[in-house]
Amino acid sequence: MGKKAKKPGKGKEKTEKKTAKSEEKRARRESKKISQEDDIDAILLSIQKEEAKKKDVHVEENVPAPSPRSNCSLNINPLKETELILYGGEFYNGNKTFIYGDLYRYDLEKQEWKLILSPNSPPPRSAHQAVVWKNYLYIYGGEFTSPNQERFHHYKDFWMLDLKTNQWEQLNLKGCPSPRSGHRMVLYKHKIIVFGGFYDTLREVRYFNDLHVFDLDQFKWQEIKPSPGCMWPSARSGFQFFVFQDEIFLYGGYSKEVASDKNNSEKGIVHSDMWSLDPRNWEWNKVKKSGMPPGPRAGFSMCVHKKRALLFGGVVDMEVEGDVIMSLFLNELYGFQLDNHRWYPLELRKEKSTKDKVKKKPDQQYNGSALANKSSQIDLGKHEENERDENTEYYEAAVDSESRIYEISQNMTSNLTVYDGGFASVSNGKPHEQNVNSDVQTCISSQVVKPCGRINSCMVIGRDALYIYGGMMEVKDREITLDDLYTLNLSKLDEWKCIIPASESEWLEISEDEDEDEDDSEDGESNSGSNSDETDDDDDVETRNDGAIPVQMGDAVAIIKGEGKNLRRKDKRARIDQIRANLGLSDSQRTPMPGESLKDFFKRTNLYWQMAAHEHTQHTGKELRKDGFDLAEGRYKELKPILDELAVLEVEQKAEEAEGAETSSRKRGNKKNRHQASQR
């Protein structure tokens, strides 16, 4: 999560100064001599020489897990469905960027990693794409970034890995796409299809919407050009691309456009449109949204399971109170029915009690192929009066449940506290310190295991199981690169399981003074543009090691709570803004409003929860409404303590404001790296 703040009236002036300063630095950077550390040509030549020394394939068995990384590729081995293939990626530690070119295999049954060392391997890269066909892994494109992020090299090379021999081969063929990153590549029958991406020229970022096809039988590239007057998606990168039967779907993405102001500043665009491509005639058609689609977001992941596509994660930035940018990293799971193009939320099934485990009567059996096909059965608008009577018992049950939730809430003094050295979970009021990343992989509740919110995670499906690996999130000013692995049984949809917990990733803090020095030097940070953080000289100082820090991760309002007693007024106000923003940003259909009872929450959102329950239950009518209520009750219990905290903090804030207390917020880090990540 990040926060950016400025004094009223100062923003425009400081933005203009920042823009001019950034342009000056960029011009100096392009004209000055490249440092040895940022000479990409020299770096890649050195890597090539080292690769030439390798003569034979070497497989290292049972090696330590790969280091944390993002923008890597992960594929299921077509020759062995219980094996994952991981290649490449990048890691940023707050000071330097590291690009990887290593190849790993992970055995899901043995839970062991293998490191494959092969001669003639591709140079290190991230933001590339990989697909598997028969016994081969194909890799195209990607980028190499210099350690100081001063230079970028985009690849246009095309590689093939024989999964039987672990031998790489570069395919030097005519007609391949231009160099790019952030593109997407899918397999349709015997063809590899590439669309979109971006290319950074230092002066500007160029986005693509070209379509290229590689025939795996003929080993030929072909560019599919739009015919006059046809429909065609706009240029973008970081979108999702997936195949179902004779349709290829494109969803979302990220791009920038020049704003219509005198500074010609760039404005980021988060796309939320969906397109369908017919690979038989290469015609695009726009897909109309229906059902309950997810809100706009960047950096999410998608993959296909049978007749549905699954969407996980992403990030949303929202401006709060004019000058504050809040970032919400999501861990919601959505389904997209591929045969009728309807969206729906995917909630985990609530474990049934013993009394509910009764064998269904034959006349209650339901052959539910798609949620949308029976949406009329749960359209409460047509049966409002009847529903009101039938839901009465659940509203009464909600009242009883609220008293239990209230007792739980009162006993929860803190879910998780952030100390200087790391996270500490609290049990019976006593903190237990842990490593900084030891609880990143779970949500706040110790009873619920699920991946935290993140962007750019790897997502694959094998044997009816969904696997989510790695990605990136933020904790305060830190970028946390994840290396955890989660799985979810898609037939049961009962619980997430953590196969590999997140390890502690390195982060090098840079002081405020060093940041200012870098801004004034010739080696300052690039690409800040007019969207750079605006700061105030008077407000840039904040003690980093004083008490707890408000942090965000996980679900809509899964906010790590501070120490409370020693919380400063400005931290208190920041956390209130944070909770408010998260409550507003998350889907309102699955988030209680402050002060809302369980009864009112279910009354307002019962259609949502019945749709969610319908996805994995055979119930209809009254039983379906009960399933929906169970899901709503679980969600309400999860969020009630945080809603209570919000109410208490707001009361305290009003009391302090009445005393005339005035505080200010400092800037919350530079979003450059993550906004670049969104387009990959």
Q: What is the pLDDT of residues 499-532, one digit of tens each?
A: 999 998 788 865 544 444 444 444 444 333 334 3
For range 72-100, the mean pLDDT: 95
pTM to 2 decimals?
0.70
* Tokens describing residue 479: 């970028």
Q: C-alpha angle 367/368/371, rounded to 5°?
A: 165
Q: Which two tokens stand for residue 547?
A: 């008490």
Report the pLDDT averaged over residues 545-550: 30
What integer is the mean pLDDT of 615-634? Answer: 78
- Both tokens assigned to 509: 């803090």
Give percent helix, percent strand, percent coil of the chain, each to the nearest 5. Answer: 25, 30, 45
Compute the distance between CA of residue 257 and CA of residue 340 in angstroms, rounded to an integer: 33
Alpha helices for 414-541 (secondary structure H): 512-520
**Burial grade of 115 (CB within 10 A; 0-12, 13-18, 19 or more):** middle
Is 548 a residue whose pLDDT tops 70? Answer: no
More confident residue, 111 or 36: 111
Amino acid 616 reads H
User: Helix crossing, 392-411 with 598-614: angle to 10°?
Assistant: 110
Residue type, 352: K
Q: Which of 268-277, 343-352, 468-477 has the lowest mean pLDDT?
A: 343-352
Share of the chain above pLDDT 90, in %: 40
Confidence of residue 137 (pLDDT cuts 50, 70, 90): very high
Confidence of residue 33 (pLDDT cuts 50, 70, 90): low
- Whether residue 442 has pLDDT greater than 80: no
Vertex 209 angle, CA 203 and 215, to 5°: 125
Which stretches of 141-264 are assigned E, i.e. beta strand?
143-145, 152-154, 158-162, 167-170, 184-188, 191-200, 205-215, 220-224, 240-244, 247-258
The percent of residues above 70 in pLDDT, for the chain, comes to 62
pLDDT for residue 307: 94
Report the C-alpha gap between 88 and 70 in whole angstroms.
9
Q: What is the mean pLDDT of residues 29-35?
A: 56
Residue 43 has which token pair? 């770096």
Distance CA 141, CA 195 (A): 12
Which two structure tokens, joined as six digits, stand for 227?
């015919």
Least confident range from 108-117, 311-320, 452-461, 503-512: namely 503-512
Question: 417 pairs with which residues across the strands?
Answer: 424
pLDDT on residue 462: 93
Bridging pattern class, strands 458-462 and 301-305: unpaired
pLDDT at 543 over 80: no
The domains of the chain, with CATH numbers, are: 34-172 (2.120.10.80), 173-287 (2.120.10.80), 369-408+585-658 (no CATH)
Cβ atoms within 10 Å of 219's Cβ, excluding its own: 10
Indicate if the pLDDT at residue 439 is higher than 60: no
Q: Three-class SS of residue 557? A: coil
* Cα gap 453→473, rounded to integer Å: 7
Whether residue 192 contacts residue 185, with contact meaning beta carbons closer than 8 Å, is answered with yes
Kindly tell me if the per-residue pLDDT of 306 is higher than 70: yes
Tokens, residue 85: 């293939």
pLDDT at 64 over 80: yes
pLDDT greater than 60 at residue 243: yes
Which has the higher per-residue pLDDT, 620 or 433? Answer: 620
**pLDDT tier, 274 (very low <50, low <70, confident <90, very high otherwise):** very high
Segment 623-651 shows an average pLDDT of: 77
Rounded to a whole number of angstroms, the CA Rg of the chain reads 26
- The count of other CB atoms within 10 Å of the CB of residue 661 is 12
pLDDT at 582 > cutoff 50: yes
Q: In the structure encoding, which two tokens stand for residue 110, read together?
A: 């043995």
CA-to-CA separations, 534 to 481, 538, 662, in angstroms, rounded: 26, 12, 20
Highest mean pLDDT among 378-382, 492-496, 527-531: 492-496
Instruction: Give the chain's mean pLDDT.
Output: 74
Q: Is the pLDDT of residue 426 over 60?
A: no
The span from the first CA to the last CA of the chain, in angstroms, equals 19
CA dihedral 321, 514, 27, 236 (to 10 degrees): -50
Mean pLDDT of 132-142: 97
Cα–Cα distance for residue pair 473/4, rounded to 1 Å: 17
Quote the tokens at residue 508: 């090098």
